[in-house]
A and B are shown apart, each in its own frame.
Chain A
Amino acid sequence: GQQLNQSPQSMFIQEGEDVSMNCTSSSIFNTWLWYKQEPGEGPVLLIALYKAGELTSNGRLTAQFGITRKDSFLNISASIPSDVGIYFCAGHSVGADGLTFGKGTHLIIQP
């Protein structure tokens, strides 16, 4: 099946720092979505991207749909303690109804 390579696997940062994570695919995706998951909960949608080159913000979060349609990044500015969690990229490959997820980036913030 489709594979998404998400990096980094984990990040240990200081509160207030900016964060950047990305996902790449060997094939074209029609949509890119970024989710956050906290322990014992389901993934919560942060940002949805539908067009190549699209840059979308949601508060301190900014994500872009790569122009090749094979990658996306998520940036978090001025991190705060509640940003802790696992961030997943996900997307629809061409013709697929189900989402393919990345393996997640575990964000840990040190005060």
Chain B
Amino acid sequence: EPEVTQTPSHQVTQMGQEVILRCVPISNHLYFYWYRQILGQKVEFLVSFYNNEISEKSEIFDDQFSVERPDGSNFTLKIRSTKLEDSAMYFCASKSWQYDGYTFGSGTRLTVV
């Protein structure tokens, strides 16, 4: 069954450092997303990306965050200067049509120290 692949599975970074989280969505999907989940809490929407541009972003997705689809397969989330409160699981998701159910990756656990 097709999967959304995320790397790395766990990243530890120092506060103030830049991190890039990587995702390979399902190949025929057109809509791409990043969500995060702080430990023990609900999943929160960060950003959606369609047709090579951001289509929606939440208030969490401030100027420290950016997304990119640098080629036909990868979808990345960059956090420019990490803060302690950025520690969370970050999930990439993709889907083939607008109101389809998403397929989520297994997540990247980001720990900012």
Contacts and interface: CB of A to CB of B under 8 A. Distances in A.
A78 interface: no
Contacts of A88: 42-43
Interface string A61-89: 00000000000000000000000000010
B58 A42 contact: no
B76 interface: no
A85 B39 CA distance: 15
A75 B58 CA distance: 31
B104 A43 contact: yes
Given A1-B59, A88-B42, A97-B48, A45 B103 contact: yes
B100 A42 contact: no
Using C-beta atoms within 8 Å of the partner chain, give the interface range for chain B.
Answer: 20 to 34
B70 interface: no
A103 B42 contact: yes
Interface of A: 1, 30-31, 33, 35, 40-45, 48, 50, 88, 90, 92, 96-104
Interface of B: 4, 31, 33, 35, 41-48, 50, 55-56, 58-59, 91, 93, 98-107
